[in-house]
Amino acid sequence: MKKAWQYRVGPSNLAVRGAGHPRSRRVLTPDGEFGSAALAADHFGIDRATAARKAHRGIDGWLWLEPRPADRRGATDLRARRGPAA
């Protein structure tokens, strides 16, 4: 453990997982609904990125139940940020 981390006090947003995190999205899996891809990944014994990839691509019955949250600028996709194609 890094020495600076030994003195960290209080909860961090990085420690919040599942439905309690402000950017989490519910995911539907073959075993039911979970508050986030991380919680579903723990249940299935796979990596969080793998769970998110399955939900994004709709593999094996995995689906996102909520749209992707908007980023801080408010745009939801890259085309909206860049403007019209020239």
Which pairing describes strands 27-29 and 32-34: parallel, antiparallel, or unpaired? antiparallel
pLDDT of 37: 92
| Residue ranges making up the domain that contains 57 | 24-68
Give the position of tokens 């991380």: 38
CB 26 within 8 A of CB 34: yes
Residue 52 lies in a domain: yes
Would you say residue 59 lies in a domain?
yes
Query: What pLDDT does residue 9 have?
Result: 55
Looking at the 3D structure of the chain, how many domains does it have?
1
Residue ranges in the chain modelled with pLDDT below 50: 72, 75
Task: Give the integer Cα–Cα distance in Å for 32 and 4.
Answer: 40
Question: How does pLDDT run across 18-35, given as a tens digit for each residue?
Answer: 777 788 899 999 999 999
Residue 85 is which amino acid?
Answer: A
Asked whether residue 9 is assigned to any structural domain, the reply reads: no
Residue 6 lies in a domain: no
